């Protein structure tokens, strides 16, 4: 009898380890995204994020100063400088270098290499170089030098800077932020309001066809919203709402209602029958029962649905694009702004990663503020 409550199972450590493993596994993509948001596009393209925190041996293509910086000394034309400084990089110890793309590791630091166009170059381990030639160096650009060096980890705040403080974005971004709030707050409150009334009626008011109505609501849960996009927009246009906030509120309300009614009704039906019957006997009307008894008792379910609906409308792009964003460009939402930052052909992972963490902020706040209700609310209706 080693599984009685109160005794510790000898396998606790296994439970702990597997729980930890699951947590790590689950967090892995988020951590990767987080690290990527501090890397440049080139870094993301060339190495994985898991390599980012460690120094790495890299082959770099650096360039000497242009020939117009050369000076003549004792019959020799000389160009001097530091390769890392020319490229505005941090210095790193060079292990080998080359002057042709065909042999990038031909020379040790300190050795002198012959240049193809004539002259020589000597590169030191710290990146200092000296080019010498008996004739003047020609051309518009400096000599390419291929170096192999151990580069310390590099992180940048540039992505966040571009996203939040770039003057070209900042106005649009803050406008989009407030637009998104304008969309999400009513789109969260309206469905809750309607659903609470409907749920009460479906749970506690006797009328013919009630069961059919509940079945219909459940059936509506499976209708994909994509199906309704064009007909609904047509309807909005024909009754004169067109594209705009009212349209997107209505759409979110409609798409959110089946789940809201279902969730709230299941919770309310589980409330103790005695309280409600007592209230009826005492002469309370349905409206009084609803406002004085049901609403306060249903708070966990209401809050949990509010979180779900808020998260969904905050992250929504599809409904906003169809029902809100018209060709006048007056209205936009965060998600749409982020897509715009990605550019015509996409592929800017660094922006995507950064955007994810910027737009995650508000939902996180909402979630942590209300999460105790979420857990309680999700159990709503499951136990009587």
Partner 1 sequence: MKHVMYASVATLALSAAAAQAEQVTVFGPWLGPDQETVEKVLAAFAAASGHDVRYVGSDSFEQQIMVDAEAGSAPNVAVYPQPGLASDMAGRGFLAPLAEGTGEWIRDNYAAGESWVNLGTYANAEGEKELFGFFYKVDVKSLVWYSPENFEDAGYEIPTTMEELKALSDQIVADGETPWCIGLGSGGATGWPATDWVEDMMLRTQPPEVYDMWVSNEMPFTDEKVLGAIEEFGAFARNDDYVAGGAGVVASTDFRDSPKGLFASPPQCYMHRQASFIPAFFPDGTEVGADADFFYFPAYAGKDLGTPVLGAGTLWAITNDSQGAQDLIKFLREPQAHEIWMELGGFLTPHKGVDSSKFADAPTAKMNEILLGATTFRFDGSDLMPGAVGTGSFWTAMVDYSGGAPAAEVAADVQASWDAAK
Q: To the nearest whole angstrom, how small is the minimum distance from the Cβ of residue 214 to partner 1?
A: 32
Q: Quick one: 65 or 303, whose CB is closer to partner 1?
A: 65
To the nearest whole angstrom, how small is the minimum distance from the Cβ of residue 301 to partner 1? 34
Q: Which is nearer to partner 1, 82 or 331 (CB)?
A: 331
CB-nearer residue toward partner 1: 342 or 366: 342
Q: Which of 186, 188, 193, 180 has its CA nearest to residue 314?
A: 180
**Could you give the 3-state DSSP secondary structure of residue 31?**
helix
Q: Report which of 241, 40, 59 is spatially closest to residue 146, judged by C-alpha positions.
A: 59
Residues that bind partner 1 (CB under 8 A): 40-42, 45-46, 59-61, 100-102, 104, 116, 140-141, 144, 146, 168, 229-230, 233-234, 236-238, 242-243, 321-322, 325-330, 339-347
- Smallest distance from the beta carbon of 345 to partner 1, in angstroms? 7
Q: How far is the CB of 302 from partner 1 (least distance, A)?
A: 33
Shortest Å, Cβ 236 to partner 1: 8
Nearer CB in complex with partner 1: 45/364 = 45
List beta partners, residue 129. 81, 123
Q: Which is nearer to partner 1, 69 or 169 (CB)?
A: 169
Question: Cβ of residue 128: shortest distance to partner 1, in angstroms?
Answer: 20
Comparison of 118 and 343: residue with beta carbon closer to partner 1: 343
- 70 vs 124: CA distance, rounded Å: 19
Q: How far apart are CA 342 and CA 33, in angstroms?
A: 16
CA–CA distance, 346 with 344 (Å, rounded to integer) = 6
Give per-residue burial for 219-251: e unless 16+ CB within 10 Å, then b. Answer: eeeeeebeeebeebbeebeeeebebbbebbbbb
| DSSP letters spanning 153-193 | P---SHHHHHHHH-HHHHHHHHHHHHHHHHHHHHHHHHHHH
């Amino acid at each position: 009898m080693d599984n009685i409550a109160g005794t510790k199972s000898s396998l606790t450590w296994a439970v702990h380890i597997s729980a930890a493993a699951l947590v790590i596994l689950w967090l892995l993509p988020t951590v990767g995204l987080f690290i990527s948001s501090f890397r440049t596009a080139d870094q993301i393209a060339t190495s994985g994020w898991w390599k980012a925190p460690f120094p790495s041996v890299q082959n770099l293509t650096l360039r000497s100063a242009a020939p117009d910086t050369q000076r003549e000394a004792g019959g020799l034309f000389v160009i001097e400088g530091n390769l890392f400084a020319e490229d505005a990089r941090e210095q790193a110890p060079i292990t080998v270098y080359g002057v042709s793309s065909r042999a990038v590791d031909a020379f040790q630091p300190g050795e002198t290499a012959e240049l193809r166009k004539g002259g020589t170059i000597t590169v030191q381990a710290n990146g200092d170089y000296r080019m010498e030639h008996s004739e003047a160096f020609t051309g518009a650009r400096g000599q390419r030098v291929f170096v192999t060096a151990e580069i310390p980890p590099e992180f940048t705040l540039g992505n966040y800077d571009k996203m939040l403080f770039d003057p070209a974005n900042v106005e649009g971004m803050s406008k989009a932020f407030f637009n998104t709030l304008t969309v999400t707050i009513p789109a969260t409150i309206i469905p809750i309001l309607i659903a609470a009334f409907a749920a009460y009626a479906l749970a506690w008011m006797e009328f013919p066809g009630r069961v059919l109505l509940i079945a219909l609501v459940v059936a509506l849960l499976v209708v994909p919203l994509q199906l309704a996009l064009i007909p609904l927009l047509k309807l909005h246009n024909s009754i004169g709402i067109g594209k705009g906030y009212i349209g997107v509120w209505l759409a979110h309300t409609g798409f959110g209602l089946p789940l809201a009614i279902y969730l709230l009704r299941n919770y309310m039906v589980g409330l103790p029958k005695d309280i409600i019957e007592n209230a009826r006997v005492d002469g309370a009307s349905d409206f009084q029962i609803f406002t004085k008894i049901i609403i306060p008792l249903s708070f966990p379910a209401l809050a949990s649905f509010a979180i779900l609906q808020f998260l969904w409308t905050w992250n929504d792009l599809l409904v906003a694009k169809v029902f809100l964003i018209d060709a006048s460009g007056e209205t936009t939402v965060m998600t749409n702004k982020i897509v715009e930052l990605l550019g015509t052909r996409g592929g800017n992972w660094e922006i995507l990663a950064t955007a994810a963490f910027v737009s995650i902020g508000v939902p996180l706040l909402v979630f942590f503020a209300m999460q105790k209700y979420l857990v309680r609310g999700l159990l709503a209706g499951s136990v009587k």
